[in-house]
Amino acid sequence: SLGSEATEDTTLSGTNVDILTSTAIGPATLELVEPARHVEAGQGFLDNTDGTRGIYLNMLIDAADIIDASSEKITLDGWIEVSYIRIG
């Protein structure tokens, strides 16, 4: 998901998904995952008047899929297109 805040727990909700809702990604095979595409059906309004808001890519991984904390590494390759209008 894309959110205006980074997730700090085991859920993706609220401000963790307020830009783009979460989408399940298939299991990795030979360290590769099939490409995923998600288009948000609606639009939202985020007030960034003070300029402090960021966009965070939030991911959750099933605990059963983690061997140990020191060996897990996630590398992402791709692009995210975000359209916006500055009002005022």
pLDDT, tens digit, 9 for 90 and up, residues 41-79 = 677 777 888 888 888 988 887 777 667 766 667 777 778
DSSP letter (8 states) at residue 29: B
Comparing C-alpha atoms, which of 17, 1, 20, 10 is closest to residue 66?
10
DSSP letter (8 states) at residue 20: B
What is residue 85's three-state secondary structure?
A: coil
Percent of the chain with pLDDT over 70: 73
- What six digits make up the tokens of 73? 């590494």
Angle at 25 between CA 8 and CA 20, to 5 degrees: 55
Beta partners for 61? none
What is residue 57's three-state secondary structure?
A: strand
pTM as predicted = 0.67
The length of the chain is: 88
